[in-house]
Structure 1
């Protein structure tokens, strides 16, 4: 019995010794170095971030970069914030979650970061507009964006001699022409409710004020007035899609477009990798959604798809800025663009994917506006509301519910706006 106890004691001592050695080895590896933790929300880009992490650590002696790319990053980040276990940098989109983080003082002001001077002003403006109320400072460094409008089969268009439309009437005429030649104009895949937001957002940037949500929060207008034309044109679009679009999802739509079953697809550039996974040789181009009735009245629907934010609890801002400098190096941005078919937020020369050729002019000139749904609270489930509306086709009922639900789910934000307006007036 004593021999067994002695053996167990020796075994436990050995395990503890090994653990101490391993711990010591880990400590020695990073001894004297600053560890910067970055958590980013795009699991589809994990391969790129693994390369970036490896390259950074191979070229920096005093800083260790650790990048985590979890599948449910936003939930994990929110949990960590509640537990006050902040990473140093977060990579997130420019959407309402960013707005919440700014409002909750989770993000640090990075106005003093010199790299901001290289970012296109249009994307900095998009981030600033996402603030519930004007907040002094800058809280994100836009990295890449995406662009949404209409993808089209370039070979099919050239074969039939179809022209790119510049107005809504020209777009409807094009759809009629395509249909008359026995080709399905578009595929939607509205079974997945989020896909309903793609044409909705692309039309909204042409037909509604960019700050319409803020105007509603200030009590200056309502969605029944501002969104009516968008809703009516959405119903027109559906007439040129597949029969029963609510029975098919995103993957179905990508596959159908890739296989030449339709001429166009109202989606963003982010869908290209999925489409090309079905047909790698497909010749795709895109054009801005021509929602306006006048030539020159259209705007590119583009938002910040990925930005880097330093958290307010970051212990070494200087080291975090060094990481940002590295990420903003042109070669590293280009690697990301090539892998993810993205649009750079940095104002410099990059090689863009041929699939956004038709949008390049808008990108270069900054003629763009953010996705309207980046202002929508998730509890409102606007994607599902749009799907229901397209099924029922009752414009008045849809808009009335939109206004009612907006007041319900945004009451806290509206109160903040009222308090700010009362304190600052017309400043």
Structure 2
């Protein structure tokens, strides 16, 4: 099936991770003149760090790298592929060293890309964007979320520092076979969803797989619940760290209480705060659990494991017709470091893996391309569900940003606060108070 074009969509990007340097360095700059004929750049070795380690993610990267080297044998790729968490913990140190990679996937939130820009560790891409026509393929509603002012303070305006490959939304995977055994149709409203969770629990099934050892998965679960209680514009203001809103509202408190109620009702697996994210979704892939709140990046792996037994839906609203409120945006953008030995070769590589042909490879390997999405033909089954869900979220302007975008320290703050909330070591009021302290300190609200 085809999905709507993104040119009029307001897209938001994926979660931030690692804090960068607190000491700003000299602003990095692109060369005064650039070259786009990669075959004429001489012998070059590009070191590329990415986090495309799971099934379909790894497959698309391997295929595109193979095609790139076949087309440009003068450019040798040295790929270093790390998990999301490993990349999070190593990239900051790598960028400050003398042997930094040439191309990296960098989270575009303030605590990563913003700090890297502030430290002068990433090169602005606007000259290559003009030369390659990226602005013609990527609407500004996408590009703006890889834009920063040179001091890293202003997010959404300024120079372009990255280009993403994929789109994503955080939705609800469900096991069709298990729902059928419960006599339940895929829920169309939030009340039906919670009723399905209760029926699964009563039948001795695990209602929802959840692994929160890494802390960030709870951000996605809470964001899903929050969207049922808090207006989308308030979530957006909070998530972008803009003055004018507050965590200390009745709606946010109600969302925190609702999340805790899922713990009280036994909807999650035992020991979820001590279980990793990957083991949790892998357990769901083995048929354990009725629902899983997770992003579209698991599409290829879950389709391979469960086939036509797995479906995907956006978090439902109070009614089936209600506008969706769903966490989502794009995958991690690719950026050029200030230590890149040949920035033109690095830009040529980024152009290649985000080209129109690359989007076809992404589709064929079970990924959700962010550019030329409407031109792709989604395979039947889970991929069709995901393309349709993404198209609905985009066309109805229902995407809201990841909550840890808000401040340079919010990733750590909200991750720890959610672990405490769901472990019942903190009350819902203490939870929102902790987030408000971080938010208001940054915004001056």
- Normalised TM-score (structure 1): 0.74
- Whether the aligned pair in 1 keeps the contact of 2:209 and 2:269 (CA below 8 Å) is no
- The equivalent residue for 2:220 is 198
- State the Cα distance separating 1:38 from its structure 2 match: 4.2
What is the aligned counterpart of 2:125 among 103, 106, 110? 110
What is the aligned counterpart of 2:387 among 353, 357, 360? 360
- State the Cα distance separating 1:283 from its structure 2 match: 1.8
- State the Cα distance separating 1:159 from its structure 2 match: 5.0
What is the aligned counterpart of 2:290 among 260, 263, 279? 263
The within-5 A match list for 1:361-400 is 361-365=388-392, 366=394, 367=397, 368-375=399-406, 377=409, 380-392=412-424, 394-400=427-433
- The equivalent residue for 1:97 is 112
What is the aligned counterpart of 2:138 among 102, 107, 119? 119
CA gap 1:99/1:201 in 2 versus in 1, 3 angstroms: farther
For residues 142 and 280 of structure 1, what CA distance do their matches in structure 2 show?
28
The within-5 A match list for 1:164-175 is 164-175=186-197
CA gap 1:119/1:217 in 2 versus in 1, 3 angstroms: closer
CA gap 1:351/1:369 in 2 versus in 1, 3 angstroms: farther
The within-5 A match list for 1:227-238 is 227-238=252-263
Q: Which has the higher helix share?
A: 1
The within-5 A match list for 1:232-311 is 232-238=257-263, 239=265, 241-242=267-268, 244-246=270-272, 249=275, 250=277, 253-271=280-298, 279-281=305-307, 283-290=309-316, 295-311=321-337
- State the Cα distance separating 1:234 from its structure 2 match: 1.2
**3-state SS in 1 of match to 2:332:** strand
1:312-362 C-alpha deviation (Å, 9 max, x unpaired): 4556544333222321234433434554x4321112323446335444334
> What residue ranges of structure 1 are gaps of 5+ in the alignment?
1-29, 419-427
What is the aligned counterpart of 1:402 among 407, 432, 435? 435
Q: Which moved more, 1:73-82 or 1:93-102?
A: 73-82
Q: Which moved more, 1:312-321 or 1:89-98?
A: 312-321
Q: Relative contact order, CA 8 A, sep 6+: which one is greater? A: 2
CA gap 1:74/1:234 in 2 versus in 1, 3 angstroms: closer
**3-state SS in 2 of match to 1:306:** coil
- Whether the aligned pair in 2 keeps the contact of 1:120 and 1:347 (CA below 8 Å) is no
- Whether the aligned pair in 1 keeps the contact of 2:313 and 2:389 (CA below 8 Å) is no
CA gap 1:129/1:264 in 2 versus in 1, 3 angstroms: farther
- State the Cα distance separating 1:199 from its structure 2 match: 0.9
For residues 46 and 160 of structure 2, what CA distance do their matches in structure 1 show?
21
For residues 184 and 164 of structure 1, what CA distance do their matches in structure 2 show?
16
Q: Which moved more, 1:163-172 or 1:69-78?
A: 69-78
- Whether the aligned pair in 2 keeps the contact of 1:188 and 1:245 (CA below 8 Å) is no
What is the aligned counterpart of 2:177 among 155, 159, 164? 155
1:21-41 C-alpha deviation (Å, 9 max, x unpaired): xxxxxxxxx997152524223
- Whether the aligned pair in 2 keeps the contact of 1:216 and 1:222 (CA below 8 Å) is no
For residues 359 and 48 of structure 1, what CA distance do their matches in structure 2 show?
18
- Whether the aligned pair in 2 keeps the contact of 1:188 and 1:241 (CA below 8 Å) is no
Larger radius of gyration: 1
2:67 is the alignment partner of 1:55: yes
1:154-202 C-alpha deviation (Å, 9 max, x unpaired): 2333455523334322322333344455544323234553332221133
RMSD across aligned positions (CA) = 3.7
- Whether the aligned pair in 1 keeps the contact of 2:208 and 2:269 (CA below 8 Å) is no
For residues 81 and 403 of structure 1, what CA distance do their matches in structure 2 show?
31
> What residue ranges of structure 2 are gaps of 5+ in the alignment?
1-38
